[in-house]
Structure 1
Amino acid sequence: MKITITGASGFVGQNLSTYLEGKGNIVEKLSLRNPNFCFRKDANAIIHLAGKAHDTRNNSEESEYFKINTDLTKKLFDEFLTSNAKDFIYFSSVKAAADTVDGILDETCKADPQTAYGKSKLAAEEYLLSHKLPEGKRLFIIRPCMIHGPGNKGNLNLLYKVVEKGIPWPLAGFENSRSFVSIDNLNFLILKMLQDPGVPSGIYNFADDGSLSTNDLVKIISQASGKSAKLWKIPAGLIGFVAKIGDAVKLPLNSERLKKLTDSYVVSNQKIKTALKIENLPLSAEEGLIKTVKSFKSKS
């Protein structure tokens, strides 16, 4: 299979490219920085990963999200419609559906993003879905939750550094449950979708089987790094006050980061598993996180 990938230099792009090539596919890495970009005419599939990530420090202009996440997606999709490629896979985000979740988020939930990032992703989705696909073509809109894996630099890495240094986790008073998706499971799902002609076009959430609390994460990290878990239950009101100060003076802890670390955000992956006729993903949520944490340890 010949596959064109945008955003191939990012964490997901690098891992997915290596994985697909390892399975015998030919991968073209397409940069969208050139305004005259075009993909190979004999490509079987386009995987659109390139985009502007959510800036938790809120330093980005709203227009930048739409310029990159929406407008570039429109341009690439228009080219796909007139090409010989059969599949277009757009990596959106669960944040295109909701910033907060009561219960479990599935693909039937009414989309109501609150951030420029989520709105720009949803605007791209709506454009893609507004077109009638030519016969023989498929459109997959992927909404992954928090992606992690070896080499990932994000909130998990920050959490690892806190635990590894023996610093007590001060947010243990928050009870939550969150979904994650390991890069191994993500790679597995993408290849299965491309290989299975029976998977219909549509929106699909990507998440690991099962969810974990942030306190569970601290315990997993502690165990993997040979440390004792130190969980401090500081009153939530005091922590929230510190986060608001962080919003004003750019502290490491701000309201956006506190939300990511303490809110519940559970995502259903049942639709994609049903479409692929599988019961379980290769790695459980805990197994995937242990693998990621051990990669942090090996590099420290």
Structure 2
Amino acid sequence: MTRKILVTGSAGWVGRALVEALADLPHTRVVAVSRNRGTPPTVHVDQGFVGDIGAHTPWQPLLQNIDCVVHAAARVHVMQETAENPLALFREVNTAGTLNLARQAAEAGVRRFVFLSSIKVNGESTEKGRAFTPDAEPNPTDPYALSKHEAEQGLLAVARQSGMEVVIIRPVLVYGPGVKANFAQLMRWVHRGVPLPLGAIANARSLVSLDNLVDFIRVCIDHPAAANEVFLVSDGRDLSTTDLIKGLRAHMPSSGWLIPVPSVVLRVGAALLNRRAAAQRVLGSLQVDISKNQALLRWVPPVTVEAGLKKTVDHFLATDRK
């Protein structure tokens, strides 16, 4: 019997990879939903378009006979927010838009709703060696994280009221072929041989490869024990910033110097330049405990950190022109 899965945000980086992976599964029909008619998927799937996502978006025509919804669409976190009221904008899409879709999905008889949230719901950082767990007290500190947390709470309420199963996934920083933003910039610096004062950073950060995240979502679509649970997801092995750069360098034909500047010196410099938040992302720790994933779902990351970094670097070297 063929199951039917609807994926929102299918034009995005994670959504596109997920659609391609699900389309390869037997007895599976995928409905790839995006905001507008942009680049079509590279695999044969059904397509749907909804325009802006918010509290009044009509989803009913797309939800007929759907078994599972994977909601990956979101207003994403941005470093330099310029909106006058960013919380209202994040809430409209990430909270009201998510709950509107969930309620309509429940009314349409959808069995399960998988929600891609964010580790930022847990917080921005951890002490080294004290990882976040799924049941830790949430500590969202910016409008994006708050909107995701409110969506999570609303989804669990919808699950209690309707009987539709909800699965909440909070990924850490995702990397993989085609990664953008800071991770791509770091690869450019390493590839160009830019000397980096990051050779003595003893922090610990959890990352997740795109392949591992997609595989975990796939498991959460079907596994009975995932119902109404919250999961954190990572590669299962944490890296210091120094080790991450060394891991990238190992797959590049040329690389620059890693200068061992003490992190305390870097923090003082960042404070003088009013760049404390940026420094925390590079120098601080953020670890997650994924033991629940193995205990409940028997899931372990299928792709190693080394393999994930190599695949990421290989794609970067083949495509980067900047």
Q: Answer whether TM exceeds 0.5 for this pair.
A: yes
1:27 to 25, 30, 47: 30
Report the CA distance shift for 1:10/1:173 in structure 2 as closer, same or farther (over 3 A): same
Paired residue for 2:315, among 287, 295, 300? Answer: 295
- 1:140 is displaced (CA, Å) by 0.3
Aligned equivalent of 1:172: 199
Q: Is the 8 A contact 2:192 2:255 kept in 1?
A: no
Superposed CA offset, 1:202-236 (max 9, x none): 11111112111111111111110122452113354
Find the aligned partners of 2:233 and 2:161 in 1 and give their Cα distance. 23
Listed one character per residue, the Cα deviations across residues 77-136 of structure 1 (whole Å, up to 9, x for unaligned) are 11122112101011111101111112111112111111111111111111112231534x
User: Residues of 2 paired with 1:231 and 1:33: CA distance?
Assistant: 46
- Alignment map for 1:179-198 (pairs within 5 Å): 179-198=206-225
Q: Percent identity?
A: 26
**Structure 1: segments with no counterpart, 5+ residues:** 248-253
Q: TM-score, normalised by structure 1?
A: 0.90
Note if 1:55 corresponds to 2:78: yes
Equivalent of 1:125 in 152, 156, 172: 152
SS in 1 for 2:250: helix
Q: CA deviation at 1:292?
A: 1.1
Matched with 1:68 is 93
Match of 1:276 in 2: 297
In structure 2, C-alpha distance between the alignment counterparts of 1:165 and 1:77, rounded to whole Å:
46
Give, as a single letter, the amino acid of the residue that structure 2 aligns with 1:269. Answer: I
- Structure 1 position 37, deviation (Å): 2.8
**Within-5 A mapping of 1:1-300:** 1-24=3-26, 25-30=28-33, 31=35, 32-34=50-52, 35-38=56-59, 39-60=62-83, 61-102=86-127, 103-131=130-158, 132-135=160-163, 137-228=164-255, 230-244=257-271, 247=274, 254-278=275-299, 280-300=300-320
The gaps in structure 2 that reach 5 residues or longer are: 36-49
RMSD between aligned alpha carbons? 1.9
Letter in 1 for 2:121: A
Q: 2-side partners of 1:220 and 1:267: how far apart?
A: 20
Report the Cα offset of residue 173 of structure 1: 3.6
